[in-house]
Structure 1
Amino acid sequence: MKYPVSVRLSAVQYYLSRKGTLNETALLFGVGKSPLGRWIRAFRQQGEAGLEHRLSRTYTQDFRLGVIRYMMKHKCSSAEASAHFAIPNETLIQQWLKRYREGGAEALHPVKKGVSVPKAKSPPGSKPFCEMTYAELQEELEYLRAENAYPKKAESPERGKCPQGAAEKTKIVQSLLPAHRLVFLLRAARLARSSYYYNATKPAAETDRYAGIVRAIMAINVRHMGRYGYRRMTLALRKEGFTLNHKTVRKLMKQHGLTCHIRRKKYRSYMPGGGPASDNLLARNFRAEHSGMKWCTDVTEFRVGEHKLYLSVVQDMYSHEIVAWHISRSPSQRLVCKMLDEALKVNYRKKGLILHSDQGWHYKTLMWRAMLADAGVTQSMSRKGNCLDNAVMENFFSHLKAEMYHRKRYDSMEVLKRDVIDYINYYNNERISLKTGGVSPVEYRTQMEIQQ
């Protein structure tokens, strides 16, 4: 398939910035490893120009021979030669090399394949001008005018640089019909008459049918800063009145280069120390019947140059809402205690609340446990070195870093702090969740409170 230039450029820049291997980059952007390798080589040789779509072309014998001689002189592979000469298909060069070894330079002469396009009885250049009649000269002049007009229309800015199929050629011919005869336009476009009439009578293209939906997808993508994949995009479209299959949404997003950022893998390790650990009362049962029955908490770290910023949050397992948070430049006891103090002030906390955490040293101190006991909150801890016991909290942090932190290079602690707070507010009030039926956490909690 033909990938948009924006997708090609994004994939190449992602790989060259060493954010992932070739396999990881190909999976992330939904492209094959072979075309990705060709794009990388073309980008290194020619920059962004090497990633642009090129019209199909016929290579002359001299050009093919020059490519072969370049390979022999520089001892390079067909892949390197394709990047140097901007030939999109390196297999073509391998065929030229094979033919050259078998038959020499004469074997490189272009051979026409397939059904030839019908030509007029008197093709241009078949007679010298001095031997043409007045009618033939008039016909030749009309053809040359049509031939001159066709490439100008085909290369207009609104059409962009993209491969021309029969449908695209038909549109160009139709736009030039008022000024030129059909027979000359078909000859200039190298388009068979049967192909022209087939596409001219064909129903509206699928892209026209989805034009309104594509505009809605782009608007949602801009509003959410490219954070929605095709599943969330499908739910968002349904809320705006568009009902269509998620596979169609995925196809449209891929055609227009609208890809979301996939969360990067995080290295997890266990740090021992502190007092005794509490029992794992949660036992990976992350479902709750009401808000304020089960909470989870953890601390994550952000880097800004040589400095670090720490975020402590509490999340409700029923609505997935971030109940409270606190940000500090030091992972001190004050960080988690201030966060807990804010969390205990919410009015929907229920009796018998369980607060689950990992075995971090903060959660084993006497101060932390005293605050929980005074509030009537039961403490639960993950097993030693088992981060999946606190998977809900790890999931939120991965969303936060993939959708906000890793998308921007931060040089200021204050800017990072502001963006973290903005994202938490966005996560609570705007970001829809598949687990809550396509509504935000706050909206889901409000709906459930009204029903109960």
Structure 2
Amino acid sequence: MFRNLDAGGKEQRFKLIEQAADIGQVADYCQLLGVSRSGYYAYLKRKNNDRDAEAKRLIHTVYKRYEGRYGYRQIQLFLWQDEGVWMNHKKVLRLMQKLGLQASIRRKRRFNMTYQAAERVADNLLKRNFTAEKPSQKWVTDVTQYRIGERWLYLSAVKDLFNNEIVAYQLSERNNNELVLQTFAKAFAKQKDVTGLIVHSDQGFQYTSHAYHDMLPKVGAQISMSRRGNCLDNASMESFFSHLKTEGLYPYDIRNLAEAQRRIEKYISFYNRRRPQRKLNKLTPVEYRRQFQA
């Protein structure tokens, strides 16, 4: 067992002690082989650090690939999707802390909300149940805004709660009824049969308009609305807009509307096709839908 000890120097002796440690005392083996216990434990520490070297490299690579926007939980999913490596989330957190990597800080923006008397309202059929058993069973929708200088860009989007996919969206410099109607024209062009579909929104003026309330019943869809001033009733859509802005807009120095539009379009494609979600069994929205339809 102890032949050819000089071939690998102290490193070889430490390896032998490690192999034999379960059948004897470390101190006895260290004395027998002429090495110190502190040296042996330093060897074990170096070995463990080396064991994490590849994991650190992968984490750093993925973190940089997505421009430092994500924390350890989303990095864990990207490691699985991009590198085929499933790593415990606690280990990802520990190694990110060692590497000094952290997610970009989310900037919170507050908007003053004013409410006008609604033309037509509907009951809250969704009741914060943001799950669906099949595609086009429940959609949520809303309009958000992004400011560039003195100008505004408005985004209307529709999200399928089955797989959190953005099924349609429309951009405009005008926040009007036409913006929402064009969004749904795109959505219905992709999904012909929406009989029984629940479409949930807040009580924004576009969703209480006569045009909106005439459009959805014609295709067999049901209208659902949040209670006035209660953003949690449409939390799933609010969550998407938050991710869009903090991951796809705020990190960049956007100077004009054209660039903002390009960033939004790029992010929505990324969100649907490249961003895995824990709730979707670590798949992207498109992958999850295709798996269901297979």
TM-score scaled by length of structure 2: 0.81
Structure 2's unaligned 5+ residue stretches are 1-34
Cα-to-partner distance string for 1:131-158 (whole Å, 9 max, x where unaligned): xxxxxxxxxxxxxxxxxxxxxxxxxxxx
Shift of 1:330: 1.1
Shift of 1:445: 0.7
> Residues 20-169 of structure 1 correspond to what in structure 2 (within 5 A)?
none
Whether 1:280 and 2:124 are equivalent positions in the alignment is yes
Whether 1:216 and 2:48 are equivalent positions in the alignment is no
CA contact (8 A) 2:69 2:247 kept: yes
Structure 1's unaligned 5+ residue stretches are 1-192
Whether 1:242 and 2:242 are equivalent positions in the alignment is no
Shift of 1:377: 1.2
Whether 1:358 and 2:202 are equivalent positions in the alignment is yes
Q: Secondary structure at the match of 2:189?
A: coil
2:48 corresponds to: 206
> Residues 251-262 of structure 1 correspond to what in structure 2 (within 5 A)?
251-262=94-105
1:399 corresponds to: 243
Deviates more, 1:408-417 or 1:292-301: 408-417
Whether 1:433 and 2:277 are equivalent positions in the alignment is yes
CA contact (8 A) 2:197 2:221 kept: yes
Q: Secondary structure at the match of 1:310?
A: strand
Whether 1:387 and 2:231 are equivalent positions in the alignment is yes
Same amino acid, percent of matched pairs: 42
Shift of 1:254: 1.6
Structure with the higher fraction of residues in strand conformation: 2
Shift of 1:305: 0.7
2:12 corresponds to: none
Query: Structure with the greater relative contact order (CA < 8 A, sep ≥ 6): 1 or 2?
Result: 2
The alpha-carbon distance between structure 1 residues 202 and 444, as it changes in their structure 2 partners (threshold 3 A), is closer
Write the letter of the residue equivalent to 1:258: L
Q: How many residues are treated as equivalent by the alignment?
A: 258
CA contact (8 A) 1:311 1:326 kept: yes
2:289 corresponds to: 445
Cα-to-partner distance string for 1:404-451 (whole Å, 9 max, x where unaligned): 22112211110110000000000000001111011100110110111x
1:231 corresponds to: 73
Alpha-carbon distance between aligned partners in 2 of 1:361 and 1:233, rounded to the nearest angstrom = 39
1:267 corresponds to: 110
Shift of 1:373: 2.0
The alpha-carbon distance between structure 1 residues 266 and 285, as it changes in their structure 2 partners (threshold 3 A), is farther
1:310 corresponds to: 154
Cα RMSD for the two superposed structures: 2.1
Cα-to-partner distance string for 1:223-251 (whole Å, 9 max, x where unaligned): 22223321122233344343432111001
Cα-to-partner distance string for 1:270-305 (whole Å, 9 max, x where unaligned): 522330311111111111110101001000010101
Q: Secondary structure at the match of 1:345?
A: helix
Write the letter of the residue equivalent to 2:50: D
Query: Which of 223, 246, 253 is equivalent to 1:409?
Result: 253
CA contact (8 A) 1:321 1:442 kept: yes
2:25 corresponds to: none
Alpha-carbon distance between aligned partners in 2 of 1:316 and 1:254, rounded to the nearest angstrom = 35
TM-score scaled by length of structure 1: 0.54
Alpha-carbon distance between aligned partners in 1 of 2:193 and 2:236, rounded to the nearest angstrom = 19
Alpha-carbon distance between aligned partners in 1 of 2:223 and 2:80, rounded to the nearest angstrom = 41
The alpha-carbon distance between structure 1 residues 200 and 360, as it changes in their structure 2 partners (threshold 3 A), is closer
